[in-house]
C-alpha cells in the first residue's frame, strides 16, 4: 500500500513541555487517520508540524516520497510547498473578502480559469450545504456557517492531503452529525488522505479508517476503530474510548480464574501476572431479572433510561458495574438483578504496567 505521510521520531518541545515525543507513524494513501486524545496531548502540535506551521526539534516528515522536514538534514519546506489543505478550529476566513473570494484566493495562485474556479466553488458549497452563499461576508454568517465555508474552501483546493483540526467543533449537535455523514461520504468518494484531529472519541470511531490514540505526546495505539474499541492496548485507551465508560475491575489471578473479592470470573489467564485488571464494556454484560446459570446477584443502584438505550448501575458491596441495555429497561431501582460475564468479551491487563495481556496459546 502506498504511504501518504511518514513521520519518523518526531519531537517538538515548548520550553519544558514535550508536546510531541519521539513520535513515529505511517499513514496509508487514502486513509482517514484520526489523532485522538485528551486536551493537551499534542494532537494539534503534531498536525501543525505536518503542515509546516511548527518547527520540530527532531525527526523527519515525508509527504508521499518528498522529504518536507528533516532536523538532521536541515530541511523544512514552507506550508505552501507541501500540497496540503488545512481546516483549523479557528477557521480564519478573511473578514474583508466574500465567500467566493475567500474560496478562490488560493485557486488564483494555482492559475485556474474563471470557469474552473466557479465550478469548484459551486460544487464545494453544495457539499457543505451552503449553496448560494458566494456573495456573503464572514460577519454575515454564524460561526457554524463560517466553519462550513472553511471546509468548502479546503475541498475546492483539492489538495493531496487534507489536514483537519476539530473542523466540526462549532456546529450544533444535529448539524455536526449531518456534517460527519457528509465528510465521511466525501472521503468514501474521493479517497483523499485525511488527517483529522479530535478529542471526541465518538467522532473518531464514526469517521476514521484508522485511529492513533495519543497521551502526553506519545502514541498509545494505532489501529482500526474496531480494534481500538474491542482490544485497547492499555488501560488508558480502554478508559478513554467508550461511553458509558468501560468497567475496570481489579483482581487477583487464581489458576484459571480471576478473584474480584466479591466473586470470581473463570477465564483464560495464561501469561497473566498475579495482579490484574479486567475490562468489560457495559454492553457486554448480560443482565437478567432472575437467577440464571453462572450469574452473580447484584442490586440495581440506579437506572438511567435515555430512549434508545438504558444504563444500569449495578452494585454488589463496594463493587459497581455499569451495564448498558437496548431500549427502555423494565428493571427498577433497588431491584435484585443477576449479571453474567462472557469471558470472550473481557480484556485482561497487567495492574502494574497497564498493558493488555495477550493470551498465550
Question: Where does this chain bind ligand ATP (CB under 6 A)?
Answer: 14, 17, 19, 37, 39-45, 199
At closest approach, how far in Å is the CB of 167 from ligand ATP? Answer: 13
At closest approach, how far in Å is the CB of 196 from ligand ATP? Answer: 12
**Sign of the CA dihedral with 277 first, then 278, 282, and 283 last:** positive
The C-alpha cell that represents 128 in the structure block: 457543505
Burial of residue 330, with CB atoms counted within 10 A of its CB: 0-12 exposed, 13-18 middle, 19 or more buried: exposed
Cβ closest to ligand ATP, residue 217 vs residue 251: 217
Q: What is the rounded CA–CA span in Å between residue 277 and residue 193?
A: 37
Give me the DSSP letters along 325-355: EESS----TT-EEEEEE-GGG-EEEETTT-B
Cβ closest to ligand ATP, residue 88 vs residue 157: 88
Cβ closest to ligand ATP, residue 13 vs residue 295: 13
At closest approach, how far in Å is the CB of 286 from ligand ATP? Answer: 37
Cβ closest to ligand ATP, residue 40 vs residue 343: 40
Cβ closest to ligand ATP, residue 19 vs residue 154: 19
**Pairing mode, strands 84-87 and 161-165:** parallel
At closest approach, how far in Å is the CB of 217 from ligand ATP? Answer: 7
The reply to whether omega before 211 is within 30° of 0 (cis) is: no
Which residues share a beta bridge with 14? 17
Cβ closest to ligand ATP, residue 45 vs residue 208: 45
Q: Hey, is 179 helix, strand or coil? A: helix
Cβ closest to ligand ATP, residue 121 vs residue 212: 212
At closest approach, how far in Å is the CB of 41 from ligand ATP? Answer: 4
Which residues share a beta bridge with 322? 313
Spacing of C-alpha 102 from chain mean position: 29
Q: What is the rounded CA–CA span in Å between residue 170 and residue 339?
A: 41
At closest approach, how far in Å is the CB of 43 from ligand ATP? Answer: 4
Give me the DSSP letters along 31-93: -EEEEE-STTSSHHHHHHHHHTSS--SEEEEEETTEEEEETTTTEE--GGGS-EEEE-SS---
Spacing of C-alpha 297 from chain mean position: 36
At closest approach, how far in Å is the CB of 162 from ligand ATP? Answer: 17
Give me the DSSP letters along 183-201: HHHHHHHH--EEEEEES-H
Cβ closest to ligand ATP, residue 40 vs residue 64: 40
At closest approach, how far in Å is the CB of 22 from ligand ATP? Answer: 15
Amino acid at each position: 500500500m502506498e504511504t501518504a505521510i511518514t513521520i519518523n521520531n518526531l519531537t517538538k518541545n515548548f520550553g519544558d513541555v514535550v508536546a510531541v515525543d519521539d513520535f513515529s507513524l505511517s499513514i496509508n494513501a487514502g486513509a482517514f487517520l484520526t489523532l485522538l486524545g485528551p486536551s493537551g496531548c499534542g494532537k494539534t502540535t503534531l498536525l501543525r508540524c505536518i503542515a509546516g506551521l511548527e518547527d520540530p526539534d527532531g525527526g523527519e516528515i515525508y509527504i508521499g516520497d518528498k522529504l518536507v522536514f528533516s532536523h538532521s538534514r536541515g530541511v523544512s519546506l514552507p506550508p505552501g510547498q507541501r500540497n496540503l489543505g488545512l481546516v483549523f478550529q479557528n477557521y480564519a476566513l478573511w473578514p474583508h473578502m466574500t465567500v467566493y473570494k475567500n474560496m478562490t484566493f488560493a485557486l488564483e495562485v494555482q492559475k485556474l480559469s474563471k470557469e474552473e474556479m466557479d465550478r469548484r466553488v459551486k460544487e464545494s458549497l453544495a457539499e457543505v450545504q451552503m449553496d448560494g452563499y458566494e456573495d456573503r461576508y464572514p460577519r454575515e454568517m454564524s460561526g457554524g456557517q463560517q466553519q462550513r465555508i472553511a471546509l468548502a474552501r479546503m475541498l475546492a483546493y483539492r489538495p493531496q492531503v487534507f489536514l483537519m483540526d476539530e473542523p466540526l467543533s462549532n456546529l450544533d449537535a444535529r448539524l455536526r452529525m449531518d456534517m460527519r455523514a457528509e465528510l465521511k461520504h466525501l472521503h468514501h468518494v474521493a479517497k483523499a488522505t485525511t488527517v483529522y484531529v479530535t478529542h471526541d472519541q465518538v467522532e473518531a470511531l464514526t469517521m476514521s479508517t484508522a485511529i492513533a490514540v495519543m497521551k502526553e505526546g506519545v502514541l498509545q495505539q494505532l489501529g482500526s476503530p474496531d480494534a481500538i474499541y474491542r482490544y485497547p492496548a492499555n488501560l488508558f485507551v480502554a478508559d478513554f474510548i467508550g461511553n458509558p465508560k468501560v468497567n475496570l475491575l481489579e483482581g487477583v489471578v487464581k489458576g484459571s480464574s480471576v478473584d474480584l473479592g466479591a466473586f470470581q470470573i473463570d477465564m483464560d489467564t495464561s501469561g497473566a501476572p498475579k495482579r490484574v485488571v479486567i475490562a468489560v464494556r457495559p454492553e457486554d454484560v448480560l443482565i437478567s431479572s432472575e437467577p440464571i446459570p453462572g450469574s452473580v446477584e447484584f442490586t440495581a443502584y440506579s437506572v438511567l433510561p435515555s430512549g434508545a438505550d438504558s444504563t444500569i448501575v449495578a452494585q454488589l458491596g463496594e463493587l459497581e458495574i455499569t451495564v448498558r441495555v437496548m431500549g427502555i429497561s423494565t428493571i427498577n431501582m433497588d431491584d435484585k438483578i443477576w449479571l453474567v460475564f462472557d469471558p470472550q468479551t473481557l480484556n485482561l491487563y497487567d495492574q502494574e504496567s497497564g498493558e493488555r495481556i495477550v493470551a498465550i496459546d
